[in-house]
Amino acid sequence: MTRLQTTVCRALLAFVLAACALPSWGRAAEDAASGRAKPTAFLVLPVTSDEEGLGEHVQRMLRWKARRLGAVVYDPASVRDALAGETITRETSPERVAELARERFKADIVVFGHVLGTGPYEVRLRVIYLDRPQGERAVEKTYACSHHQVIPLETAKAVYEILGIPEPPDPWRQLRDDADIQRRWREGPNLVRNPGFEEPGAAGDGPAQWQPVEKEMAWAHNPDGPGKVLKFEMTPGTAAGYGLDYYSDWIRIEPGAVYRFSCRHKSLGPTVKIFLKGYHSFPATDGYPAQRRETYRRQVHPSGEASRWHETLADFIPEATRPEHAPTFLKVDLFACYPAGVVYWDDVVLKKVCDAPVAPPPAVPAAAPPGEAEPAVEAPAESKDTP
């Protein structure tokens, strides 16, 4: 692995683990990097939304990110007390908001707005800079979000823009531009067995190396070309409930490595998602049998208009916040939910495109004193193949 790949992989791993953690308050290094003589007073006023509770969630994300970038953020309870019952909405005039921010908070920047829609979404923020001339004080920014999970990314982007701080380089983009990774993606082995659903299983009614075909599923001919596909025929009752899942067989993986996934789908109506689920083998304990349990999940959101084939591509690092629970097996979960209808799946690909960074060698333990035996190490019990 080249030095660039090692650097990128470590940056990606840090990025993934940081995304799982709560923000750390007080970032002196980021304060210095912003080039500001004093921290910016960043006031977040109400963000309303069409979807219940989503506006409050965006408010929290704005505060968290601003504080991580070195701004002084106002406590929500203090903001409510200072507003003294006055309601702030997206229709409130910038002049009135600026007056409140100046008189009651002494803020430098004020943010409020509205999240439009219930999927897809538009995060519409109104930003007021108190230190700018009157005609340049108010700015409106809109961030389009195709899915719920995109909102945190766009919210973080918004805070960088509002504070005038350059965004850090995207490590995923660096991977896409790496020649050796592209070569491994073209030439490396596909870890998914029977990726095109062509090989029949023992019963002959479904593909090998995948779960048995269940109700509202079919191992069918490709309606648009040669070969076989996996077909969902989801009824309204199933669509309104838990939807349909279809799992691959177990795939052995290396925690901390970078993997690239792709597959093709064609939906005639239902919403489709793909879950890449990582599992760790836990030994038998407290009366529970040894089993593999899910400790990692990457959710992929395919897009594209209905009734056409689309290819979805996603990079990911299977890792856990607790290293001792790092996943070593993976299953691909093809999923569809409301509304009812037909979905076709084909050509599922998973390849390792970058090895895990090499960890420093462990410290050599001190030898046991004379007369003391080394503690015995018991081999873990064999794990069951549980989904």
Going by pLDDT thresholds of 50, 70 and 90, the confidence category of residue 379 is: very low
pLDDT of residue 376: 42
Sign (positive or negative) of CA dihedral 27, 31, 33, 34: positive
Which two three-digit tokens encode residue 24? 């750390």
- Separation of alpha carbons 148 and 150, rounded Å: 5
186-354: CATH, from 3.40.50.1000, 1.10.10.10, 2.60.120.260, 1.10.150.110:
2.60.120.260
- Separation of alpha carbons 207 and 233, rounded Å: 17
pLDDT of residue 373: 45
3-171: CATH, from 3.90.480.20, 3.40.50.10070, 3.90.1530.10, 3.40.50.1100:
3.40.50.10070
Question: Rounded to two decimals, what is the model's pTM?
Answer: 0.61
Sheet holding 109-116, edge to edge: 72-73, 41-49, 109-116, 121-129, 138-145
For the chain, the structural domain boundaries read 3-171, 186-354
**pLDDT tens-digit series, residues 94-117:** 888 888 888 888 889 999 999 999
**pLDDT tens-digit series, residues 112-157:** 999 999 878 999 999 999 888 776 788 899 999 887 778 888 999 9
Cβ atoms within 10 A of the Cβ of 252, count? 8
**pLDDT tens-digit series, residues 3-61:** 555 555 555 554 444 433 333 333 333 444 445 457 899 999 999 999 999 999 999 99
Tell me what the mean pLDDT of segment 256-272 comes to: 95
